[in-house]
A and B are shown apart, each in its own frame.
Chain A
Amino acid sequence: MLLIVPSRIVARGIEGVFNDLGEFFVEGILTDLSRTSEVRLRNMDADLIVVDPVIFDCASRASGRSRISEYSDAAVVALQTIQMEEDVWRQYDDTINIYDDPPVIIRKLRAVLSGRKDSPKAESQELSAREKEILVCVAKGMLNKEIADLYNISIYTVISHRKNITRKTGIKTVAGLTVYALLNNLIDASSIE
């Protein structure tokens, strides 16, 4: 497993606890998602990532999970060190708290890993509701800035949604996405142009 935790003390603590228990092995520790960390994340090939969402700034926190999945297919569990909105936690495969008992944490991680083996990336291949909303905007010819303003999210989040839409559908151009939206009845032909 891989830790993405800004506090070295917390990271070392988790590493120590897991080493004592033996089942999970901490392969690496990142303190942020800078460019060099992204490269390590891509190359590490961990089964499981534990991330403290504090590493994302407020605006991009809601899309933290999808940002990690751009670099890694691993299961991602959030580490709760401070209180955050419910939406932030919901995107992860599960949540563990720094005050959880180690056996509880182990049980959760085991469940997450076995759950993924049963349905490898099953749900992640279909477009999410939010991705469909963004896709409709793109098909209607809206700019990233306009989409960001409409949904009150950062441009960065819009771009990350668009990347995921292209990754899932294989369609890169706006014209192609428009065809997708029309064929799937997401928009009406009269709403474009």
Chain B
Amino acid sequence: MEVGTMENEAMVKKRNMKDRTVLSPTMKMADLVNLNYRLLGVLSRLGVNLGFGEITVEEACRKHSLDVGSFLLVCNVYTYDDYIPSGALLSTGKPADIVKYLHSSHAFYLDHELPELQEALERLVVQCDMKQKLIIDRFFSEYKKEVENHFAYEETVVFPYIESFASTCGARGYSIEQFEENHSNIDEKLCDLKNIVMKYLPETCDTVLRNDVLYHICYLEEDLDKHTLIENNVLIPMMTRLEENEKRK
């Protein structure tokens, strides 16, 4: 019976793959967003403005000097949960474009999303007693610190390495494997915060404010998850390939 279910799952997955809209350079930008509105965040982080009328993905990328292959890689990861990029796509994509995306998405989390979550959380705990307020505040700042440290490592070590690799064709003293091994999880505390806000803050807390916090957490959780997938399934294999090519020379 168990084998049957597994076959079934594989079949469903195959069918889903067939029914999928393939994201292509010739499709209209508007269709891309209609397919998956979460791509709005991706567009703004890559500096692609809205108001693009009827232009295609290809044209938009050219206008904003983005590599269309890398752009579609990011969009695919964002749109399909089980997306694994093919070797061909990985070797044509440009690591610098992926880094550009990851960098502006860091900035988005730090300058926009985390402060908004913090404000929503502060509004919520205003009604709680002083002690509870302090506990939550402290937990959130610990979480924020953890995220900042995690990003700081990538910004000061990993991204400069990738940039210098691209410009000098090979860099020493670091390899993407080290990043792969040290890539820590930052999702646990956020998930804890979700459960605490949902289950353990007193019933007297305002429902609308509480929902507001939960929506922020869920959005951030999903977005960080995609962010990690782009690092693990796109950036790391891309760099591994380049490093291997370099060694062979």
Seen from chain A, the residues whose Cβ lies within 8 Å of a Cβ on chain B are 43, 169-173, 175-176, 178-180, 182-184, 189
Take A43-B2, A179-B136 as given contacts and tell me if A171 and B131 are in contact as well, using a CB distance cutoff of 8 Å: no
Residue of B nearest to A181 (CB): B135
Interface residue ranges, B against A (CB under 8 Å): 2, 131-132, 134-136, 139, 142-143, 188-189, 191-196, 199-201
A179: chain B residues within 8 A (beta carbon)? 135-136, 139, 192, 196, 200
Q: Interface residues of B: mostly helix, strand, loop or mixed?
A: helix
CA distance A179 to B140 in the complex (A): 11
Whether B2 contacts A175 by the Cβ 8 Å rule is no
Q: Is the interface of A mostly helix, strand, loop or mixed?
A: helix
Q: Complex Cα distance A175/B196, Å?
A: 11
Quick check: B139 and A169 within 8 Å, CB to CB? no
How far, in Å, is A125 (CB) from chain B's closest CB? 11
Beyond known contacts A169-B195, A170-B199, A171-B192: 12 more, CB 8 A cutoff: A169-B199, A172-B188, A173-B189, A173-B192, A176-B188, A178-B139, A179-B200, A183-B132, A183-B196, A184-B200, A189-B131, A189-B134
CB of B118, distance to nearest CB on chain A (Å): 16
Instruction: State the CA gap A171–B194 with chains docked (Å).
Output: 9
Interchain CB contact under 8 A, A170 and B2? no
- A176 → chain B closest CB, angstroms: 3
- Contact B189–A175 (Cβ < 8 Å): yes
Listed by A's residue number, 15 A-B pairs whose Cβ atoms lie within 8 Å are: A170-B191, A170-B195, A171-B195, A172-B192, A173-B189, A175-B142, A176-B188, A179-B136, A179-B196, A180-B196, A180-B200, A182-B132, A183-B135, A183-B196, A183-B200
